[in-house]
């Protein structure tokens, strides 16, 4: 590996990260073209169906692309989808070397783009900052293989693990900085999911509100009996589509009323509760590749209990509210009889947002299954 490979790949990763949330089920990708020690082209994949990062960089470089080195955060594609193969364009433009961070897990690519480049005599270096690239595309990496969305569960609680006071008040547990970051999380996910109890209690919009306008996710409500009030704000604001996940037990007249408002109502199991596994399968069929769960303890706990949460983002405010069993907790599920069975978080990071602390990690269910 050339000493500057990591430097230029970091630029490509920054380009990719800037487009997080914009590409739907497609990956975020950045590309930098370097020739004679100069950056001659840069690009990022900005929107599903639009030109890929390599194409933007090649178009910027023009004739300078010949003899250059391309730094790409994900293996150049080799198939015809909504756009043509990027590997073919790199070959035609005379790029002499390609540095790739990560191999594309898409079964229709999975190394074939790299193989095509090498077959044409282009030098290919793999694995430069691979972990960083894989982290950027964790949702894509799961969806493209399983056809199930990547699930992030976000919570906000007091130091004693409460998400609301005994009287139901929950505004606000965390401060403005933490709440701002949550809106960034919404921008980066295709959908946001909550339970009907949250809608009935708070009447939220579940939109993205940032100083620089962001993308609002599809709003998804788990509502086994279609109890959602028909006057709820999110049913009328037109900010983003609404999907209601329900069961076969739900009243037909309520279903018709919601559909008349433009809501997509999806059956997920016979009841009495929404079958979360079936729900994620249906959302995958709708090409929703990432879901942010912002819900009360029962629904958040259900995702953990069923081993469906891929990532946890846990905010803690420096507050103690008490309230015992009357104050709802962060995760409400039957749990385990022994501490050795506890779900552990791996690859932990800790950040502060104002006075609040945020723990981000990936749950390991191995001990819980023992």
Active site members: 54
User: Is 170 annotated in some ligand binding site?
Assistant: yes
User: Is 202 annotated in some ligand binding site?
Assistant: yes
Describe the strand order of the beta sheet including 344-353 as a list of residue ranges: 264-267, 242-246, 218-222, 191-195, 290-294, 150-158, 311-317, 356-364, 344-353
User: Is 301 annotated in some ligand binding site?
Assistant: yes
User: Is 330 annotated in some ligand binding site?
Assistant: no
User: Is 198 annotated in some ligand binding site?
Assistant: yes
User: Is 358 annotated in some ligand binding site?
Assistant: no
User: Is 268 annotated in some ligand binding site?
Assistant: no
Report phi then psi at 140, rounded to 5: -60, -45
User: Is 113 annotated in some ligand binding site?
Assistant: no
Question: Nearest to residue 342, comparing CAs of 364, 359, 325?
Answer: 364
User: Is 188 annotated in some ligand binding site?
Assistant: no
The secondary element (H helix, E strand) that includes residue 16 is helix 5-18
Q: How far is CA 357 from CA 185, 333, 350, 354, in A?
A: 16, 24, 7, 8
User: Is 62 annotated in some ligand binding site?
Assistant: no
Can you say how many angstroms the Cα of residue 252 is from the centroid of all Cα atoms in its chain? Answer: 33
User: Is 282 annotated in some ligand binding site?
Assistant: no
Whole-angstrom distance, CA of residue 237 vs CA of residue 220: 15
3-state helix, strand, coil in the chain (%, to 5): 30, 25, 45
Binding-site residues:
52, 77, 86, 156, 170, 172, 186, 198, 202, 206, 209, 224, 294, 296-302
Binding-site residues for NADP(+):
156, 172, 198, 202, 224, 296-302
Binding-site residues for Zn(2+):
52, 77, 86
Binding-site residues for substrate:
170, 186, 206, 209, 294
């Amino acid at each position: 590996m050339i000493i500057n490979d990591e430097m230029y790949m970091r630029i490509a990763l920054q380009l990719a990260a800037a487009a997080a949330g914009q590409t739907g089920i497609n990956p975020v990708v950045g590309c930098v073209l370097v020739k004679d020690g100069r950056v001659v082209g840069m690009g990022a994949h900005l929107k599903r169906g639009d030109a890929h990062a390599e194409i933007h960089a090649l178009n910027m470089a023009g004739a300078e692309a010949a003899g250059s080195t391309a730094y790409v955060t994900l293996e150049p594609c080799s198939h015809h989808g909504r756009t043509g193969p990027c590997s073919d364009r790199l070959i035609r433009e005379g790029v002499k070397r390609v540095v790739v961070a990560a191999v594309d897990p898409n079964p229709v690519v999975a190394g074939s783009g790299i193989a095509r480049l090498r077959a044409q005599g282009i030098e290919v270096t793999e694995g430069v900052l691979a972990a960083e690239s894989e982290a950027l595309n964790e949702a894509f990496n799961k969806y493209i293989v399983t056809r199930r969305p990547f699930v992030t569960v976000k919570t906000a609680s007091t130091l004693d693990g409460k998400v609301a006071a005994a009287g139901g008040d929950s505004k606000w547990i965390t401060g403005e900085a933490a709440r701002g970051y949550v809106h960034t999380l919404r921008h980066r996910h295709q959908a946001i999911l909550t339970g009907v109890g949250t809608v009935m209690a708070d009447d939220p919009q579940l939109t993205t509100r940032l100083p620089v306008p962001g993308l609002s996710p599809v709003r998804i409500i788990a509502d086994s009996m279609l109890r959602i009030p028909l006057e709820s704000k999110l049913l009328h604001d037109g900010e983003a589509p609404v999907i209601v996940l329900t069961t076969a037990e739900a009243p037909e007249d309520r279903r018709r009323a919601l559909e008349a408002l433009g809501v997509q109502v999806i059956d997920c199991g016979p009841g009495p509760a929404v079958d979360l596994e079936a729900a994620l399968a249906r959302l995958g069929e709708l090409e929703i590749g990432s879901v942010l769960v912002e819900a009360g303890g029962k629904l958040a706990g259900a995702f953990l209990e069923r081993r469906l949460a891929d990532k946890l983002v846990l905010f803690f405010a420096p507050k103690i509210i008490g309230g015992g069993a009357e104050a709802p907790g962060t995760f409400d599920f039957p749990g385990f009889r022994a501490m050795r069975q506890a779900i552990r978080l791996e690859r932990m990071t800790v950040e502060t947002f104002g006075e609040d602390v945020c723990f981000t990690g990936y749950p390991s269910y191995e001990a819980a299954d023992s």
